[in-house]
């Protein structure tokens, strides 16, 4: 049974909120650093690693509670927890209180992906388009983080950049409670007619899915947390206004986000492995070229590599929907996120020190190498059509 349209709308908005709130700090970091007495923004960036570490580690209990307790209840915890913790960040008086508040924010943000996406696609016969549109919503949240944070910091200060979105999130929580029907039973207790895949095939898919999620998350965290400062550095003397830079970066993310809608439409029609590989192979050359670019050429290349990075995001969720029974999707997604974002949270911790020591060019070359690894992992995927139709009996024949 599919969820009501009003609930689907709020689940898509929640995806935008999830990504937006995690990246407000990355956009406002220069202003926060100045307020706290830091000479360079790079020195403050490691204090935000707790948010991304908790985003990953918290996915395991979040996914388990989503399956065993209920997805509607967990999404209510998400809306209210995100709103209140965002306002807690605004009250920070120093780097360590900021680090704690961001970690709390990251813990609540861990709820959405293992709970919200399985809730959104439950009962859907072809989930590709739903996943693609949901990905667009999430990445528009990234664009909003760049645009709205830049404007709020410019006119009202960095604390208001956390406070106003927090109040909005709490209001959305009340709306979600009103329009979303209560669940009659937890997902884990529902009946299922799906035929399980052979263990060897499933283990291979889960292993590759986790590996590509790790490399993809590394690229996602490096770019979304570093793009603002990269643009600020490479446009120095050409465009210096933070509001204008925020608008430019928002435009990059908005254009790149459309890739997920296109990919979502194609996932249900084209071999998943072939489509995935085609998109991933665009990443290495674009990232390497961006290492050498400045000004408007950099912005064009940023748009290109963000299209390729955002365009690769729907594939993990598509594999989970295609191969994992709905009764345990939240737990599988949670485990996958805990590993991938637990590892890739190092990207946030390393971003400032690496850029300070070696510059953005070195970082972009490293990301190009990571993208090559992703392509190698994708080549190891089994043919999806054969995996779907193969049953345990077929496997033993």
Q: What is d(CA 225, CA 25) in angstroms, rounded to the nearest whole number? A: 9
List, as one string, the DSSP characters of 242-262.
HHHHHHHHHHHHHHHHHHHHH
Sorted by where each begins, the domain ranges of the chain are 5-180+196-396
Tens digit of pLDDT for each residue in 228-237? 888 888 888 8
Do residues 82 and 169 make contact, with C-beta atoms less than 8 angstroms apart?
A: yes
Residue 269 burial by Cβ neighbours in a 10 Å radius (0-12, 13-18, 19+):
exposed
Of residues 15, 114, 126, the one with CA closest to residue 74: 114
Confidence of residue 393 (pLDDT cuts 50, 70, 90): very low
pLDDT at 350: 73
Does the pLDDT at position 61 exceed 60?
yes
pLDDT at 191: 62
Length, in residues, of the chain: 397
Do residues 105 and 82 make contact, with C-beta atoms less than 8 angstroms apart?
A: yes
Tens digit of pLDDT for each residue in 327-339? 777 887 787 777 7
Most confident range, picked from 95-99, 181-185, 194-198, 235-239? 95-99
Reduced to 3 states, what is the DSSP secondary structure of residue 236?
coil
- Token look-up 């263990």 returns 199
Residue 139 burial by Cβ neighbours in a 10 Å radius (0-12, 13-18, 19+):
buried
User: What tokens were used for 199?
Assistant: 């263990």
Confidence of residue 395 (pLDDT cuts 50, 70, 90): very low
pLDDT at 193: 55
Domain 5-180+196-396 classification at class level: mainly alpha
Q: Going by C-beta distance under 8 Å and a sequence separation of 6 or more, which residues neighbour residue 106?
A: 22, 50, 51, 52, 53, 54, 55, 58
Tens digit of pLDDT for each residue in 240-253? 787 788 888 888 98
Q: What is d(CA 372, CA 377) in angstroms, rounded to the nearest whole number? A: 9
pLDDT at 331: 82
Please tell me which residue, 131 or 308, carries the higher pLDDT value. Answer: 308
Of residues 134, 115, 315, 118, the one with CA closest to residue 210: 315
Confidence of residue 72 (pLDDT cuts 50, 70, 90): very high
Q: What is d(CA 372, CA 382) in angstroms, rounded to the nearest whole number? A: 19
Please tell me which residue, 282 or 338, carries the higher pLDDT value. Answer: 282
Tens digit of pLDDT for each residue in 342-362? 676 677 677 777 888 888 899
List, as one string, the DSSP characters of 103-151.
HHHHHHHTTIIIIIHHHHHTT-S--HHHHHHHHHHHHHHHHHHHHHHHH
Do residues 124 and 66 make contact, with C-beta atoms less than 8 angstroms apart?
A: no
User: What tokens were used for 101?
Assistant: 């508040």
pLDDT at 368: 95
Confidence of residue 197 (pLDDT cuts 50, 70, 90): low
Q: What is d(CA 231, CA 68) in angstroms, rounded to the nearest whole number? A: 44
First and final C-alpha spacing in the chain: 35
pLDDT, mean of residues 35-41: 87
Within 10 angstroms of residue 194's Cβ, the number of other Cβ atoms is: 10
> For the chain, what is the mean pLDDT?
84
pTM, entire model: 0.73
Does the pLDDT at position 125 exceed 70?
no
Does the pLDDT at position 394 exceed 70?
no
């Amino acid at each position: 049974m599919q969820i009501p349209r009003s609930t689907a709308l709020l689940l898509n908005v929640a995806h935008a909120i999830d990504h937006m709130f995690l990246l407000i700090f990355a956009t406002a970091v220069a202003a926060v650093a100045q307020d706290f007495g830091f000479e360079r923004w790079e020195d403050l960036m490691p204090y935000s690693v707790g948010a991304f570490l908790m985003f990953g580690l918290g996915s395991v209990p979040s996914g388990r509670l989503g399956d065993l307790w209920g997805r509607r209840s967990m999404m209510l915890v998400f809306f209210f927890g995100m709103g209140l913790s965002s306002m807690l960040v605004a009250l920070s008086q120093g780097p360590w209180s900021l680090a704690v508040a961001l970690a709390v924010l990251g813990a609540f943000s861990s709820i959405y992906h293992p709970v919200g996406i399985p809730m959104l696609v439950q009962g859907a016969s072809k989930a590709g388009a739903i996943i693609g549109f949901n990905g667009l919503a999430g990445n528009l949240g990234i664009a909003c983080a760049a645009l709205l944070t830049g404007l709020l910091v410019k006119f009202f200060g960095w604390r208001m950049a956390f406070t106003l979105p927090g109040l909005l999130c709490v209001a959305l929580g009340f709306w979600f409670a009103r329009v979303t029907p209560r669940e009659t039973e937890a997902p884990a207790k529902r009946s299922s007619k799906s035929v399980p895949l052979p263990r060897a095939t499933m283990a291979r898919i889960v292993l590759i899915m986790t590996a590509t999620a790790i490399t993809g998350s590394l690229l996602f965290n490096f770019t979304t947390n570093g793009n603002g400062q990269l643009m600020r550095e490479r446009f120095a003397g050409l465009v210096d206004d933070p509001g204008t830079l925020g608008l430019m970066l928002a435009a990059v993310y908005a254009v790149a986000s459309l890739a997920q809608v296109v990919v979502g439409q194609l996932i249900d029609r084209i071999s998943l492995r072939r489509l995935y590989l085609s998109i991933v192979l665009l990443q290495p050359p674009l990232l390497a070229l961006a290492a050498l670019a400045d000004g408007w050429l950099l912005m064009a290349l940023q748009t290109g590599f963000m299209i390729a990075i955002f365009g690769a995001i729907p594939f993990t969720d598509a594999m989970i929907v295609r191969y994992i029974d709905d009764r345990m999707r939240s737990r599988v997604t949670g485990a996958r996120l805990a590993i991938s974002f637990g590892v890739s949270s190092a990207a946030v911790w390393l971003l400032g020190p690496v850029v300070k020591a070696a510059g953005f060019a070195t970082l972009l070359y490293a990301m190009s190498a990571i993208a090559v690894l992703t392509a190698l992992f994708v080549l190891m995927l089994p043919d999806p059509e054969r995996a779907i139709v193969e049953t345990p009996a077929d496997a033993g024949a």
